[in-house]
Structure 1
């Protein structure tokens, strides 16, 4: 699949920040945090890496992992001391060193989502978990995206389909273990207009498939099964009972005659 390339992430940062600060953007972030509160407490380890597009938005508050690092694309004033600056497709992290990798809209705005996903898989230890947060094209937001100007944030994002994401995970030997979605309201900037469309929100909530605008996918990095070596076969000797010879009555009579 070829993607319509959005501008470079560092060029989008001002517009992304402004949109995330808007009421609609804040509603999305709140919905995503609630979804992460469902999945992060079940993922354990020592090291967590969040790869995102806005260093002001740490999304790992619900995680029990003690050492957490936030990675973003640009240097900003007042950055968290745990934050580092790097590209999402060239992570400056040792391979197989992270227990949890959280991609917060990193695939949506990546120049090459395939490479970003490969990098996340590379730094994830065997048995670790990858958490992907992104826009769901099978939602009202995905439908409204075709009516919006694609050059505007956030509608120029990739909006990767869940089925295609599953295929990519499978190629990297990552197994999906959970997928959840939320935020069923249409993406109107006006809260008044969103409230008037509550009937549409209820309709999408009753849809059989995951139809929320925000989607969280959790995948585990599988480890090939190890076949234990068999111990060399050893012949066991079975101890049989030994029958001791006992003198018979005839033997006793002969011995007595000889003594006489």
Structure 2
């Protein structure tokens, strides 16, 4: 039997799922392109290549779903502590049994100043209301409130750099209705900025008490007689230049 994550991956092939996937892919592309380092991991959903715009030399997709490059559980990653520069969680928390444990594991494997990118469904939206009457797998996830998630991040010394909401069109499976409601993307972002169906969080790992080591600059003292010799040489050169 397919796991909830694999069922959700299949849902992404529906018209509404493609709308979600394309919207998030654009956000991941513009966010990851300027994140630098050596090692990046995407956790679950191999159907969405969230790291395609990133240029780190070591990238892979891990998780329990079929198609991942590294088989593992989201709350028990077979990775060394402080070994990743970037970790991406596309709806991983929505379908995790214990999302807080997944976040603790994310904090463990991230290097200081490492980045964590999270997407999930927003319960305070039309999409959140839809889950009350829908049976599709997309609506069976955790639907964590962004504010609750921010509180968890703060407890783990994970600092939110910026957040964004996506998917302001109504959650309808008819492709025609999705196209007709395209205008709501711009209107929703302006009139109801926190009402998008999907939230996106860009997070950095801060380490308490960490100080940046700066180079120690030394003052070089030039002996006075050497300095006088240099000044005299410059004066003589200036006189020669005037006589030419």
TM-score by length of 1: 0.75
How many pairs are equivalent?
Answer: 213
Render the CA deviation track for 1:32-84: whole Å, top value 9, x for unaligned.
Answer: 011112211222110001112x22322111112221110121344xx6xxx11
Structure 2 residue aligned with 1:24, among 16, 35, 60?
16
**Do the aligned residues in 1 keep the contact of 2:157 with 2:205 (CA within 8 Å)?**
yes
Q: Distance in 2 between matches of 1:32 and 1:91?
A: 24
Q: Structure 1 residues 131 and 55 mapped into 2: Cα distance closer, same or farther (>3 Å)? A: same
Question: Quick check: 1:37 aligned with 2:21?
Answer: no
Following superposition, the deviation at residue 107 of structure 1 comes to 0.2
Question: Quick check: 1:108 aligned with 2:100?
Answer: no
Following superposition, the deviation at residue 191 of structure 1 comes to 1.4
SS in 1 for 2:27: helix
Question: Quick check: 1:69 aligned with 2:60?
Answer: yes
Question: Quick check: 1:49 aligned with 2:35?
Answer: no
Q: Distance in 2 between matches of 1:226 and 1:13?
A: 37
Q: Distance in 2 between matches of 1:197 and 1:55?
A: 29
SS in 2 for 1:108: helix
Structure 2 residue aligned with 1:117, among 99, 103, 116?
103
SS in 1 for 2:203: strand
TM-score by length of 2: 0.79
Q: Structure 1 residues 208 and 197 mapped into 2: Cα distance closer, same or farther (>3 Å)? A: closer
Aligned partner of 2:209 in structure 1 is 225
**Do the aligned residues in 1 keep the contact of 2:79 with 2:109 (CA within 8 Å)?**
yes
**Do the aligned residues in 1 keep the contact of 2:5 with 2:95 (CA within 8 Å)?**
no
Q: Structure 1 residues 14 and 116 mapped into 2: Cα distance closer, same or farther (>3 Å)? A: closer
More helix by share: 2
Q: Distance in 2 between matches of 1:116 and 1:16?
A: 18
Q: Distance in 2 between matches of 1:202 and 1:74?
A: 35
**Do the aligned residues in 1 keep the contact of 2:39 with 2:56 (CA within 8 Å)?**
yes
Question: Quick check: 1:88 aligned with 2:88?
Answer: no
